[in-house]
Amino acid sequence: MSNQTPCITVNETTKTFSLTSPGVSYIFHADPSGELIHDHFGPPITSHLPPDIGGPDGGWGSYLTRVPRELPDSGRGDFRLPAIRIRKRTGNTVLRLEYVSYEIIPGKPKLPGLPATFGEESDVSTLVIHLTDPVSLISVYVSYSIFPRYDAIARSLRIVNNGDEEVVVEQAASFCVDMPSGEWEMLQLSGDWAREARVVKRPVVLGTQGFQSLTGYSSHLHNPFLVLTSPRTTETHGQTYGFSLIYSGSHSFQVEKGSVGLTRVLAGMHPDHLSWPLSPKGGEFTTPECVAVFSAEGLGGMSRKYHSLYRGHLCKSRWVDRPRPALINNWEATYFDMNQQNLALIAKRGSELGVGLFVMDDGWFGVKHPRLSDNAGLGDWVVNPERFPDGLGDFVTRVTGFEVKKLDNKEDNTEDKTTTKMKFGIWVEPEMVNPASELFETHPEWVLQAEGYPLTEARNQLVLDLSQSAVQDYIIDKLTDILNSADISYVKWDNNRGMHELPSPSVPHAYMLGLYRVLGTLTTRFPEVLWEGCASGGGRFDPGLYHYWAQSWTSDNTDAIDRLFIQFGTSLVYPPSSMGAHVSAVPNHQTGRTTPLEFRAHVALMGGSFGFELDLNKLPEEEQAQIPRLVALSEKVNPLVITGDLYRLERPDESNWPTAMFVSPDKAKSSAVVLAYRMQSIINWHSPPVRLQGLDPEATYELEEEGQEAVEYTGRTLMNAGLRLALKGDYQSRVIFLRRK
Ligand code: DGJ
């Protein structure tokens, strides 16, 4: 071994590269022809690998068809899906990438223009492999950054055209790995508007299977996240490989079980929305990064690694580890029927019941084209004078003058003397424009359009072309003006349609780079603002935006039962601290279902941003009286959701008794909270014991629950025997706190 860091070793003789942490090894080598051959990805390896004697004896295809490859290029007889395809002037896409050299970099370099994981030298080390095609002189630099504390490897490609003719990058998968022959299952988070992040599991069969987004965004349809597991993997057992793409645009995840049994995983930008020209003599392209995490302890172990990695080394927001204020949003209370009077009444009642933040949703703007419904106003970010005759600044001053009356959470019941004032949040949808707007009248050339084709409207709106720097600057200026005009602490940034009529296939990626520039500028300029992403709910709940914004509206579906599925699904990869979750009115506006207030609130506690989305004045009085207690409960649970370790004791797609548990991240496991639900009543049937996880088996824990006597059990008893929760009837729930004695 000539070159060593704690996690990256290189054997110069065999040209073997190994990235290793306590929980994972990732190993590959360059063969004598310069081909990068994949050797191992999984539990840690402590010596050199036994020789591979399991390969097929001959067969019809060439050598490349039969070997596990690290960066399968195209056109040389590997008939599986390629990871990289580049079109030359002549039209051919043949590429022969041969190993040239490597470099080890302490820490992790930034990816130009793209959100990515980050860390100090003590957190992460990077191996860069340089490959080149001797014919076209195209070079590829494959970066592998290992975060040993999370058994995570982030990979991206930098492609450089050193030739003297333009080439076009048509495909460049950020991650590609050929897993060994054997049985595999794959899992994805799929759905649609108001039905996001359903866990979909299937066996991997011969041939290709996968999912994609071609919406221009990461989408409700399929989240940019794939899990490959050994068969029968559960929340606690089984080899689990996650692949999470840090990107907010169209994507493609493909799994191909090839004819000789190897299983290839490809994750990256969607090739149909790429086509990136590289100028001769130095044109470059960098792919987004994909983060692979390995867990030998099933899905739960994988999720906790993603949560800690993403909270600590992806999200740049100051809010990432701060408890979030309980909020009240007016959308489901008023929809577009809003003005300064009715909003003030909603905000006022919220403040009286202990809610600390009022969020003014859609409908507040537009002068010539007032936003009275979804058919006008987007783009014109000026307050509507009829609805707000006193102006935005005056309205914000009024709301931020409301005193927030709180129930005290303090243990000793002493009175909390600090009075807080309500904070103000605002809704915007800056990437969009209605044809009925002054912006569109002035700048019709700013929308996505393909010459000659009619513009397709969705929700009566068009998409601004954020690949244009004038559009980026307009959005930056407008948001800066709004945030400077009043005391605004929170922004909900919405985005309510997909991209159509693309001028060229490279525009969606140029748009993303433009969007990331806008978000980088605004979040740096206003670092104290709590930014929340939204795209008709969870249509852009992705790691790319999590880099800038610590939370996202999880779904437009606020029904508590549906939310259990959506929230548990989303938590597979995203920290629950990043989920917005609100209590809304019943019958629920999306599903028509009526569930008790207590259950709705307990479900919303699982999200880092707890809130209400209804007119509290319209709740029956006895329910209004419950709000201060529920807000106080949320403030007690919230710190554990923000920084704790999540254990999904049961998932709603597998059990009628979904249960989430958050354990404090300290070594002593000193506190925890259990959120236990029963979705439906089942007659004449025992509820299964709720076996806790993540506690110190030797410690004694005091359990505390509203209306119950405190009891003590050891961690071992709680984890081995479990709690017996007598939940009766439909829509029942319990919230139990644990404190180490
Ligand atoms: C879609 C969002 O998801 C909703 O919460 C709401 O903000 C509406 N847009 C407003 O138009």
Measured in Å, residue 584 CA sits from the centre of ligand 1 at 14
DSSP class of residue 130 equals E
Q: What span, in angstroms and rounded, lies between the C-alpha atoms of 235 and 506?
A: 40
Ligand 1, atom 10, lies closest to the CA of 362
Asked if residue 409 has pLDDT above 90, the reply is no
Q: Is the pLDDT score of 580 beyond 90?
A: yes
* Minimum-distance ligand 1 atom for the alpha carbon of 427: 7
Cα of 598 to ligand 1 centre, how many Å? 25
Pocket flag, ligand 1, residue 331 (CB < 6 Å): yes
Name the strand (E) or helix (H) holding 545: helix 543-546
* 733/693 Cα distance (integer angstroms): 19
Q: Is 276 helix (H, G, I), strand (E, B) or coil?
A: strand
% of the chain with per-residue pLDDT over 90: 94
Please, what sign has the CA dihedral across residues 555, 557, 563, 565? negative
If you take atom 5 of ligand 1, which residue's CA is the nearest one? 556
The alpha carbon of 87 and the centre of ligand 1 are apart by a number of angstroms equal to: 41
pLDDT tens track for 468-503: 999 999 999 999 999 999 999 999 999 999 999 999
Instruction: Identify which has the larger pLDDT, 635 or 58.
Output: 635
Give the atom of ligand 1 at the shortest distance from the alpha carbon of 536.
3
Tens of pLDDT, residue by residue over 418-449, are 679 999 999 999 999 999 999 999 999 999 99
Atom nearest to 331 CA in ligand 1? 6
Residue 49 CB neighbour total at 10 angstroms: 13
Pocket test for ligand 1, best of 195, 329, 331, 558 (most atoms within 8 A of CB): 331
490-493 and 152-161: which strand pairing? unpaired
659-740: which CATH topology?
A: Immunoglobulin-like (2.60.40)
pLDDT (tens digit per residue) in 4-21: 678 999 999 999 999 999
Q: pLDDT of 498-523, one tens digit each? A: 999 999 999 999 999 999 999 999 99
Q: What is the DSSP string of 670-724?
A: -EEEEEEEE-S--TT-PPPPB---SS-TTSEEEEE-TTS--EEEEHHHHHHT-B-
Q: How far apart are CA 480 and CA 158, in angstroms?
A: 34
Q: What is the mean pLDDT of residues 354-376?
A: 98
Residue 2 has pLDDT above 50, yes or no: no
536 Cα: distance to centroid of ligand 1 (angstroms): 6
| pLDDT, the chain, mean | 96
State if residue 329 touches ligand 1 by the CB under 6 angstroms criterion. Answer: no
Mean pLDDT of all residues in 672-696: 96
Does 415 have pLDDT greater than 60? no
Identify the band that residue 671 occupies on the pLDDT scale cut at 50, 70 and 90.
Answer: very high
Please tell me whether residue 476 adopts helix, strand or coil conformation: helix
3-class secondary structure, 65: helix
Lowest mean pLDDT among 180-189, 198-207, 411-420: 411-420
Strand partners, 27: 18, 40
Taking the centre of ligand 1 as the mean of its atom positions, its distance from the CA of residue 196, in whole angstroms, is 15
pLDDT score at 53: 67
> Two tokens at 395?
């309205």
Residue 364: CB within 6 Å of ligand 1? no
State the CB neighbour count (10 A cutoff) for residue 120. 10
- What are the two backbone dihedrals, phi and then psi, of residue 723, each rounded to the nearest 5 degrees? -85, 145
Ligand 1 pocket residue status of 553, Cβ below 6 Å: yes
Q: How many angstroms from the chain centroid is the CA of residue 316?
A: 14
567 alpha carbon – ligand 1 mean position (Å): 18
Q: Is 667 exposed, middle or buried (0-12, 13-18, 19+ CB in 10 A)?
A: exposed
CB-CB neighbours of 634 under 10 Å? 27
Least confident window among 5-14, 159-168, 400-409, 570-579: 400-409
Residue 192 has a CB neighbour count (10 Å cut-off) of: 12
Sheet containing strand 645-650, edge to edge, reads 645-650, 659-663, 671-678, 732-740, 700-704, 711-714
Measured from the CB, is residue 427 less than 6 Å from ligand 1?
Answer: yes
Pocket test for ligand 1, best of 220, 375, 491, 553 (most atoms within 8 A of CB): 553
Question: Under a CB-based contact definition with an 8 Å cutoff, are residues 398 and 422 in contact?
Answer: no
How many angstroms is it from 299 CA to the middle of ligand 1? 31
Superfamily of domain 8-313: alpha-galactosidase from lactobacil brevis (2.70.98.60)
> Secondary structure of the chain: what % helix, strand, coil (to 5)?
20, 30, 50
Answer yes or no: is the C-beta of 539 below 6 A from any ligand 1 atom: no
Report residue 505 as tokens. 């296939």
- In one letter, which amino acid is 594? T
Q: Which of 374, 367, 411 is nearest to 389 (CA)?
A: 367
Architecture category of domain 327-643 in CATH:
Alpha-Beta Barrel (3.20)
Task: Please state, in angstroms and rounded to a whole number, the distance separating the CA atoms of residues 24 and 293.
Answer: 9
Catalytic positions are 494, 556
Confidence of residue 1 (pLDDT cuts 50, 70, 90): very low
Pairing of strands 645-650, 659-663: antiparallel
For ligand 1, atom 11, which residue shows the shortest CA distance? 362
Is the distance from the beta carbon of residue 378 to the nearest atom of ligand 1 less than 6 Å?
A: no
Q: How far apart are CA 338 and CA 330, in angstroms?
A: 9
Check if the beta carbon of residue 422 is closer than 8 Å to that of residue 400: yes
Q: Is 196 in the pocket of ligand 1 (CB under 6 A)?
A: no
User: Which residue spans of the chain are classified as CATH 2.60.40.1180?
Assistant: 659-740
Residues whose CB falls within 8 Å of the CB of residue 732, separated by 6 or more in sequence, listed in order: 599, 677, 678
For ligand 1, whether the C-beta of 362 sits within 6 Å is yes
| 428 CB near ligand 1 (under 6 Å) | no
pLDDT value at 292 more than 80: yes
Q: What is the pLDDT of residue 54?
A: 65
Ligand 1 centroid from CA 529, angstroms:
20
Tokens of 248: 């907010």
Percent of the chain with pLDDT over 70: 98
How is residue 264 written in tokens?
A: 């290839």
CB 493 less than 6 A from any atom of ligand 1: no
Residue 532, ligand 1, Cβ within 6 A: no
What's the gap in Å between 474 CA and the centre of ligand 1?
A: 22
Asked if 69 and 178 touch (Cβ cutoff 8 Å), the reply is yes
The per-residue pLDDT for 408 is 67
Using the mean position of ligand 1's atoms as its centre, give its distance from the Cα of residue 237 in Å: 39
Q: How far apart are CA 145 and CA 123, in angstroms?
A: 10
> If you take atom 2 of ligand 1, which residue's CA is the nearest one?
536
pTM given for the model: 0.97
Task: State the closest ligand 1 atom to the C-alpha of 556, by its place in the atom list counted from 1.
Answer: 3
CATH 3.20.20.70 residue window(s) in the chain: 327-643
Q: Which two tokens stand for residue 163?
A: 């030739």
537 CA closest ligand 1 atom index:
3
Q: Is the CB of 361 under 6 A from ligand 1?
A: yes
Ligand 1 pocket: which of 375, 378, 536 to mutate (most atoms within 8 A of CB)? 536
User: Cβ distance 369 to 377 under 8 Å?
Assistant: yes
Q: State the distance from the centre of ligand 1 to the C-alpha of 461, rounded, in angstroms.
A: 14
What does residue 32 show for φ and ψ, rounded to 5 degrees?
Answer: -60, -25
Residue nearest to atom 1 of ligand 1 (CA): 536
pLDDT of amino acid 154 = 98
- Provide the angle, in degrees to the nearest 10, between the axes of the packed helices 597-604 and 627-643: 20
Name the closest-CA residue to atom 3, ligand 1.
536
Task: Say yes or no: CB of residue 536 within 6 Å of ligand 1.
Answer: yes
